[in-house]
Structure 1
Amino acid sequence: MEVLHQKIQAILAQYTGRSGIVIINQNTGARLELHPDMVFPAASMIKVPIMIEVMRQAAAGLIDLDETLEITSQVQTGGAGILKELRSGVTMTVRELVTLMIILSDNTATNILIDLVGMNSINATITSLGLRSTVLRRKMMDFEAAKAGKENYTSAADLAHLFASIASSSLALPPTHSALMLDILKRQQVRDKLPFYLPEEIIIAHKTGTLPGAEHDAGILFVPGGSYIICVLTADLAANYEGLQLVANIGKTIYDYIS
């Protein structure tokens, strides 16, 4: 991957800020890593381990994916998503909330799920998975907690491990739950980063994240003959549009290299 490494370095040289990148060829195990253990504000990438904990508790019979929960005005929160726009009293199943949390990065759905499975349980599962830099310390849009220093964090290495585990169904979950997670990730609606320049027919199961000065995207790219784990995290950007361009250009460069 030396040629790819040089091309990505050339892209990074055009932008300000810092970045963490991990690319893994799932067939050969070949890896490209740039600052894999650098810690970043997680933004919505933290929703991937939340989804895993929901599936773990569902598989253990602690919760039911088809249980319905009410969306009240007390839990509706701002930022990304659609639930904040709906009337109070709408009900959604846990399965639907997980789907919205991932494909639309819905913050209301995320906070409801954090309450359902528990922040401590999510962090315990994060630890049990061997993630060294990932932690959930606050709910979505909790600016007071953020001001108090309670930020959510992750790294490209941690996310690469998560997505590789999802791709290989090695999370000690029933096949149905592993397949459900992969299916939801494949239905991602936010496509302004890694898949932006990719052909429409190319499948990528991924999750994005955005904060002021930070743009992230990570997931599993499916190509003829195999798949690649790709994780790109950025922070300290001069402007977010630069992060969008950077990650999109890296996605195109990786795809062109593979092709």
Structure 2
Amino acid sequence: ARTEQLDINDTVPLSRTPRVEGGGALQELVGKHSFTYLELCRLMMVLSDNIATNLLITVLGMENINARAEKLGMDEMELNRMMMDFNALAEGRDNHITAMSLARLYKHIFECRDRDAYGREMWNILGRQQFRDILPFYWGEGIRFHHKTGSLDRVEHDGGVIETFRGHFCFILLMSDIDNDRGKELGAQVGRIMKEFVEEALP
């Protein structure tokens, strides 16, 4: 949108991608609906909507998304399948990312937050994440954590930027091969340790 290759207010019909289960609200809709690119971005990030994510992957293209990630320095990031595509998983095609790649992405969004309307929108979307049961669990509602969670069977991820009076800090936590309830519990404990470090250990 920033380079005028698309208009974020253009609409995409829900029929462009098959319905999948998992997180989000679009799977509950019936009938014909269309959503703007901006609405799909918000649903993808704030509600972890898998159909919104797949719609964006469909219209933008995996190759273009991977090329953009590489340009941002996210060398270890690979998008190889749609959300909830278990046939692709069975064929050995999966998505990959590292903590450092995610940190580079959050740094980019952080640095763009005051650049223009697009940067502000990206930053504000991260700040409206509705799932706060991992890293920010013990921080309280008064602390804004601009972040994104991710969950699959035996996988729990969380990461983003916490704004505090002592500065801004990027935290990334990627967990796999762990029961989900245990992962959320450990993730919240890690978040509490981070809170204690920021509030007590820093000068």
> 68-77 vs 78-87, which deviates more?
68-77
What is the number of residues matched between the two proteins? 199
Quote how far apart the aligned CAs of 1:178 are.
Answer: 1.2
- 1:190 CA displacement: 1.0
> Which 4+ stretches in 1 moved above 2 angstroms?
72-76
Which residue in 1 is equivalent to 2:22?
79
- Does structure 1 residue 217 correspond to structure 2 residue 163? no
Q: Does 1:245 align with 2:185?
A: yes
**Displacement, 1:60?**
1.4
Q: Root-mean-square deviation (CA), in Å?
A: 1.6
Q: Is the 8 A contact 1:163 1:220 kept in 2?
A: yes
2:127 corresponds to which residue?
186
Deviations 1:46-91 (A, max 9, x none): xxxxxxxxxxxx1111111111222239532211110000113122
Report deviation, 1:225.
3.4
- Residues 17 and 55 of structure 2 are in contact (CA less than 8 Å); yes or no, is this contact kept in structure 1? no
State, as a whole percentage, how many aligned pairs show the same letter.
37
Q: Deviations over 1:73-114 (max 9, x none)?
A: 953221111000011312211101100000111010001101
2:6 alignment partner, SS class: coil
Partner of 2:93: 150
Show the counterpart of 1:257. 197
Asked if residue 176 in structure 1 is aligned to residue 117 in structure 2, the reply is yes
Secondary structure of the corresponding residue to residue 72 of structure 1: helix
TM-score by length of 1: 0.74
Are 1:107 and 2:50 counterparts?
Answer: yes
In the alignment, which residue of structure 2 is the partner of 1:22? none
Give the match for residue 138 of structure 2: 197
Kindly report which structure 2 residues correspond to 1:22-37, keeping only aligned pairs within 5 A, or say none: none
Secondary structure at the counterpart of residue 161 of structure 1:
helix
In structure 2, C-alpha distance between the alignment counterparts of 1:74 and 1:137, rounded to whole Å = 16
Q: Partners in 1 of 2:13 and 2:194 — Cα distance? A: 42
1:159 alignment partner AA: L
Give the unaligned 5+ runs of structure 2: none
Determine which of 118, 123, 128 is the counterpart of 2:71.
128
Please give the alpha-carbon distance, in whole angstroms, between the structure 1 residues aligned to 2:100 and 2:169.
14
Alignment of 1:228-239 (within 5 A): 228-237=169-178, 239=179
Label 1:227 to 1:174 Cα distance change in 2 as closer, same or farther (>3 A): closer
CA–CA distance in 1 between the matches of 2:115 and 2:89?
36
Which structure carries more relative contact order (alpha carbon 8 Å, separation 6+)? Answer: 1
CA distance in 2, matches of 1:174, 1:255: 29
Deviation at 1:174, TM superposition (A): 5.2
Quote how far apart the aligned CAs of 1:128 are. Answer: 1.3
Instruction: Tell me how far apart the structure 2 counterparts of residues 117 and 165 of structure 1 sit (CA, whole Å).
Output: 20
Counterpart-to-counterpart distance in 1, 2:15 and 2:32: 5
In structure 1, stretches of 5+ residues that fail to align are 1-57
Instruction: Give the secondary structure class of the aligned counterpart of 2:112.
Output: coil
